[in-house]
Each structure stands twice: as structure tokens, then as C-alpha cells.
Structure 1
Amino acid sequence: MHRMLAAALTALTAAALAVAAALGIVAALDATPEQPNVPLVTFDRAGG
């Protein structure tokens, strides 16, 4: 019974850490400013 309780607590802790990590990643991505979508190189068509 003691091992079952330890296994359940370990699984619960792992799940809580996974959810916290996912929420932290989403918060970090939302905190970064939006980058402009401007191409660095453009090619002109000659004689179109």
C-alpha cells in the first residue's frame, strides 16, 4: 500500500510539473513582442 501511495503521489507531481511547464512556456511566448513579417531579400522580376 505504501508503494502504491508513493507511485500515485509521484505521478500526480509529474503531471502538475508538466502542466506548470506548459503554462510557463505559453506565458513566455505571449510575453515576447510580435515580430514584423518583412522579407530580408526581395527579387524583382525583369521584363515581367
Structure 2
Amino acid sequence: MHRMLAAALTALIAAALAVGAALGVVAALDTTPEQPNVPLVSFDRAGE
């Protein structure tokens, strides 16, 4: 019974850490500013 409780607690802690890490990654991605979508090279089209 003691091993079952230890295994359940380990799984619960691992799941909580995984959820916390996922939320941390999402929060970090939300705080980074969005990069402008400006092309580095542009080609002029003479016929248009």
C-alpha cells in the first residue's frame, strides 16, 4: 500500500509540474512582442 501511495503522489507531482511548465511556456510566448512581417528583399514588377 505504501508503494501505491508513493507512485500516486509521484504521478500527481509529475502531472502538476508538466501543467506548470506548459503554462509557463504559453505565458512566455504571449509576452514576447510579435515580429513585423516585412520582407528582406522585394522585387519590383515593371509590368503591373
Residue 22 of structure 2 corresponds to residue 22 of structure 1? yes
Paired residue secondary structure (1:20): helix
Identity over the aligned pairs, expressed in percent? Answer: 88
In the alignment of these two chains, the number of paired residues is 48
Aligned ranges 1:3-42 → 2 under 5 Å: 3-42=3-42
Q: Over aligned residues, Cα RMSD in angstroms?
A: 1.1
TM-score of the two chains, using structure 2 as the length reference:
0.87
Unaligned runs of 5+ in 2: none
Structure 1 spans left out of the alignment, 5+ residues: none
**What TM-score comes out, normalization by structure 1 length?**
0.87
